[in-house]
Amino acid sequence: NPENTIFSIKRFMGRKGSEVTEEQKLVPYTVSTDPKGLVEVTIPNGDKSLSPPEISAMILQKMRQTAEDYLGSKVDQAVLTVPAYFNDAQRQATKDAGKIAGLDVLRIINEPTAAALAYGLDKEVDEKIAVFDLGGGTYDISILDLGDGVFEVKSTNGDTHLGGDDFDQRIIDWLVTEFKKDQGIDLSEDAMALQRLKEAAEKAKMELSSTQQTDINLPFITATQDGPKHMSYSMSRAKFEQLADDLIQRTIPPMEKALEDAGMEASEIDQVILVGGSTRIPKIQEIVEGVFGKEPHKGVNPDEVVGLGACIQGGVLAGDVTDVLLLDVTPLSLGIETLGSVMTTLITRNTTIPTEKTEVFSTAENNQTVVEIHVLQGERSLALDNKTIGKFQLTGIPSAPRGVPQVQVTFDIDANGILHVSAKDNATGKEQKIRIESSSGLSDSEIDKMVKDAEAHATEDEDKREQVDTRNQLDSLVYQAEKDSAEWDDQISEETKQNLEEALGSAKTTLSNPETNSNDLNASRDKLMQAFSTAGQENYQSQAASDEEEEGTPEDHDEHDDDDVVEADYEIVE
């Protein structure tokens, strides 16, 4: 069901359609844009479109339910992790997903930082560590200083367009090419075949982490007028590394840049922590060892360590974990557009957060009464080369020659890495503020609507589960009633028998309709239970009366016993 099966949604979080032209080619489902130009996913099965935060919220709801089932109590708060190189829009979209899922998001922390928390919580030595995080869709590298319970991020870098999905795609492309060469059939437009190829590619990649060669067998991958076609190829680890070489090489520059930004040499790093399933690829481990000059630490589970770190941060916020201080950084520079369409940076990348920075700007034209604050994120010099994360206007500035008015612009980044911006005219005291939440593309009203939709779905799901449970109970009751009533046939009255048969017939009719609601199922179950209970009582009373009658005729028993004895004696004499 490729068009209705959604995966890798993380890559689309907080993104505009123009930013994901390559990513949308890699998925079989339909990726489109909403009226705001933001990504949405079309679900043919339900004839609807969902935003990435809505889809992520469904995953969070499932995780929340799993946690509640295990803990036996309600969960309404969460710490969410994001790739360190997520920009403001992606972070806000992640927070929106938590809100839609009905969670109070206490903190958003970077995945490498969470991994460092899990690794260093019980360490008593001061260390400089590098966390290399290569997951399914994103890549991060962070340099941290650990000591005395303080986890200080010195720098972070990465690539939000690089991950395990890209390695899978290289195998898929190779399989499509080889099959076309051998069979003359192009599978690249066959959604069903591509979904099977995706699963096979991921399996092959995983197997090649522990073996030198793997077989890829996909029977009935497609069919022509001549009959079904099968796929069978072998892939060596060397071939896989050759196909993915440029992807592997792309991990090196961010490592070098992170070291440069931290002001460290590779030799100063005491430990390198590997995070994310893709770090199991031997060539990746080899590259990391080559850059840092030491074998990566393998004492943590790359799939679990980030989640454990998030739990520790939750414990810190709740006051259950003490003597731990986390100092994270903002991954990208933040600033505003100024005269000449250049970006003037207020907060540089790798600045420790939370942080606040204020600068004074002025007007660019004579008698200018309105100033537009164009908030940008990125490292380029020109505004158009960076990402717009918000715009707002400060109005009512008194007319004056250019350069005279003083507009005080303040950038405030909270502990979640989410930006708040304000602009104030020093002459009049007028102020305009914006919390950069529109960068995710979702307004408060839209989020509230999605929260209600999610709650409605949760109620709907609960109703369906209740309906299934009731249906199963009724089905079991029908089976038991039919089985027992056959044995009670001579022990119950005709009226009781008729009532039971009517209740059974009604229950079977109810069960035969898959659309029957819970109320009707419950009514049918209660009716059958009443008839079945009445029949059971009559059967019990009949059995008890029969037993008393047998106990009340000892002569018959004696005579019967004598007969038995005589017969037995006779046989023995024989």
Over residues 132-146, the pLDDT tens digits come to: 999 998 999 999 999
The 3 state secondary structure assigned to 450-483 is: HHHHHHHHHHHHHHHHHHHHHHHHHHHHHHHHHH
Dist CA 372 CA 365 (whole Å)? 13
344's tokens: 């003037």
Indicate the pLDDT class of residue 409, thresholds 50, 70 and 90. Answer: very high
Phi, psi (rounded to 5 degrees) for 104: -90, 105
Residues of the chain with CATH 3.90.640.10: 164-247
Tokens 């840092």 belong to: 292
Looking only at the bridges linking them, the beta strands covering 271-275 and 127-134 are: parallel
CATH of 51-162+250-328, one of 3.20.20.70, 3.40.50.620, 3.30.420.40, 3.40.50.300: 3.30.420.40
Q: Does the pLDDT of residue 567 top 60, yes or no?
A: no
Torsion angle (degrees, nearest 10) of CA 242, 248, 249, 252: -160
Q: Tens digits of per-residue pLDDT, 330-345?
A: 888 899 998 878 889 9
Residues of the chain with CATH 1.20.1270.10: 449-551
195: left (phi over 0), alpha (psi -120 to 50) or beta: alpha
Tell me the mean pLDDT in the region 10-30. Answer: 88
- Please give the C-alpha separations between residue 141 and each of 154, 221, 254, 460, in angstroms, as whole numbers: 11, 39, 7, 42
Helix (H) or strand (E) holding 374: strand 371-377
Architecture of domain 334-442: Sandwich (2.60)
The set of residues, in sequence order, having a beta carbon less than 8 Å from that of 221 and lying 6+ positions away, is: 179, 187, 193, 196, 197, 229, 230, 231
Instruction: Share the mean pLDDT of the chain.
Output: 87
Q: Which fold has domain 164-247?
A: Actin; Chain A, domain 4 (3.90.640)
Is the link from the previous residue into 354 a cis peptide, with omega within 30 of 0? yes
Residues of the chain with CATH 3.30.420.40: 51-162+250-328
Architecture of domain 449-551: Up-down Bundle (1.20)
Torsion angle (degrees, nearest 10) of CA 11, 12, 15, 18: 100
DSSP E strands in 61-187: the ranges are 77-82, 104-110, 127-134, 139-147, 150-159
Tokens 């930082």 belong to: 113
3-state SS, residue 81: strand
Instruction: State the pLDDT at residue 115.
Output: 93
Indicate the pLDDT class of residue 572, thresholds 50, 70 and 90. Answer: very low
Distance of CA 365 to the CA centre of its chain: 49
Q: Tens digits of per-residue pLDDT, 445-477?
A: 666 776 677 666 666 666 776 787 788 888 888
Dist CA 270 CA 296 (whole Å)? 10
Q: Tens digits of per-residue pLDDT, 188-212?
A: 989 889 999 999 999 999 999 999 9
Q: Does the pLDDT of residue 35 top 90, yes or no?
A: no
